[in-house]
Amino acid sequence: MESNNRYDEEYEVQYEAHWKKLQQALEHEKIEEFRDEFLDMHPYDQAKFFMEQEKAYRMQIYTYLSPEELGDVMENVDLEDTTFIVAEMDPRMSSMMLSEMSADNAVDILNELDKDQVASLLTIMDKEAADEIKQLLHYEEKTAGSIMTTEFVSTYKHYTADQTMKLLKEEAPDAETIYYLYVVDEEKRLVGVLSLRDLIVASEETLVEEMMNEKIVAVSVAKDQEEVAQMIRDYDFLAVPVVDFQDHLLGIITVDDILDVMEEEASEDYSRLAGVTEATRHADSALVTARKRLPWLVILLFLGMFTASLIGRFEQTLEQVAVLAIFIPLIAGMAGNTGTQALAVAVRGLATGDYGKQGKTKLILREAVTGLITGAVCGIVITLVIYLWKGDIFLGLLVGISILATLIVATLAGSLVPIIMDRFNIDPAVASGPFITTINDIISILIYFGMATAFMGLLT
């Protein structure tokens, strides 16, 4: 353990020294020294260094690096930061840089820009690269087509191992991955998959159709990216082919693209669970951030007004037994917390595809029993506490039974709402925490004051 820590400390010291040397080369405009140091770094570290620079130094870096080298840096920059970077670059440099990038990564960046910017960049871009990017841009966002790359190696089933190896050597430098080769027929239909290992160990005269695996797992070009991510996770693929409705091979989706999808989907679900329609970016202004958050807050404001008016309907009950008001935050808070816990479990299970039809039923039953157990325990505890505090067993029983009923209902609501939304093809994450909390507030108030009104005689 000590040796590992010592290695980490030594690495940190070397890393900081390297970083400082690179910064000095940039500040003193030593181009060759900067290039030697910068290009010796891992692309991720290059992107990290680049993003920490002021605009003036970034403008220097644009002139120090080639479009291909800038493309490697850009592929490791957070997608949300690419908008202002492309905007501050010279348009011709931007277009050349995008031409050198993987087509799918270039498309991801262009999807972040305004349509006018995209049109302008495509106009001055290399025609071959522009045509390839346009082909991907017309696919609907968040589908397999929008995240696939057309940079892969395919071969024909009548080729020999020797012919395929020569083809691989020619096309490998521009391919996203070469661990799988995709076998097509004369009409470009996907008929098999060939692993690099099988190709290497085969004799030169062996035909591809004798080596290939005909059990193909492919995805439709229109398939949702989240479903593609689940498939790659389930099958442990490094890449999956993308086909049209006639099984023509259009592209492939690699695991690194899927990692980006999973991060994007997780960020989106988290934002929606927090009651925000879109993820807030750190570069967003206060006005933009407020605009993204306001829709849910306005809806919740009206729901809160409804809750207030609901309490007003029990004004006579409160006047006769004023002590009931003390426990309103307790009842509502417990309902909101329990509902949010059940919601998080349900949304995560639906997002990862862990629940089939039987799994959903099992989830609902489990949450109902969980609500019963937690409600019973909390109800008993609060009954005893109130009795010892206020000396009123009936008040304690009222609050305890209210918590029992509230926790059962709140837990069921937290698990049922996202499942119902999923049934109607609505993203279950929109059943956000604030929404569930407010709904459970209303339910808990109804239960609490309904019981208090019904048993008023015992309380007074």
Lowest-confidence range among 92-106, 125-139, 285-299, 357-371? 285-299
Residues sharing a CB contact under 8 Å with residue 241, sequence separation 6 or more, in sequence order = 182, 190, 193, 216, 218, 219, 249, 251, 252
CATH topology of domain 286-459: Tetracycline Repressor; domain 2 (1.10.357)
Residues sharing a CB contact under 8 Å with residue 228, sequence separation 6 or more, in sequence order = 144, 147, 219, 240, 253, 258, 261
Amino acid, single-letter form, for residue 244: D
Residues sharing a CB contact under 8 Å with residue 71, sequence separation 6 or more, in sequence order = 97, 98, 100, 101
What backbone torsions phi and psi does residue 305 show, to the nearest 5 degrees?
A: -65, -35
Query: Given pLDDT bands bounded at 50, 70 and 90, which one contains residue 218?
Result: very high
Looking at the DSSP bridge assignments, the partners of residue 445 are: none
| CB atoms closer than 10 angstroms to residue 81 | 17
One-letter-per-residue 3-state SS of 171-236: HHHHCCCCCEEEEECCCCEEEEEEEHHHHHHCCCCCEHHHHCECCCCCEECCCEHHHHHHHHHHHC
pLDDT digits (tens, 9 = 90+) for 423-443: 777 666 655 566 777 778 888
Query: Given pLDDT bands bounded at 50, 70 and 90, which one contains residue 282?
Result: low
The span from the CA of 5 to the CA of 104, in Å, is 39
pLDDT at 155 > cutoff 70: yes
- The larger pLDDT score, comparing residue 39 to residue 361, is at 39
Domain ranges of the chain: 2-147, 154-270, 286-459
Q: For residue 298, give both structure tokens.
A: 């306005």
Quick one: pLDDT at residue 189?
93
pLDDT digits (tens, 9 = 90+) for 387-416: 898 888 888 898 899 899 989 988 888 888
pLDDT digits (tens, 9 = 90+) for 194-212: 999 999 999 999 999 999 9
Alpha helices in 28-160 (DSSP H): 31-39, 43-51, 55-64, 67-74, 82-88, 91-100, 103-110, 115-124, 127-137, 144-147
Contact 91, 124 (CB under 8 A): yes
pLDDT digits (tens, 9 = 90+) for 21-31: 889 989 999 99
Options 1.20.1440.130, 2.40.160.20, 1.10.10.350, 1.25.60.10; CATH for 2-147 is: 1.25.60.10
Lowest-confidence range among 66-80, 270-284, 347-361? 270-284
Angle at which helix 255-273 crosses helix 328-352, to 10 degrees, equals: 160
Quick one: pLDDT at residue 300?
67
Quick one: pLDDT at residue 223?
92
CATH topology of domain 154-270: CBS-domain (3.10.580)
Quick one: pLDDT at residue 163?
94
CA-closest candidate to residue 48, choices 34, 33, 38: 38
Euclidean distance between the first and the last CA atom of the chain, given in angstroms as a whole number: 67
Q: For residue 120, give both structure tokens.
A: 């302008």
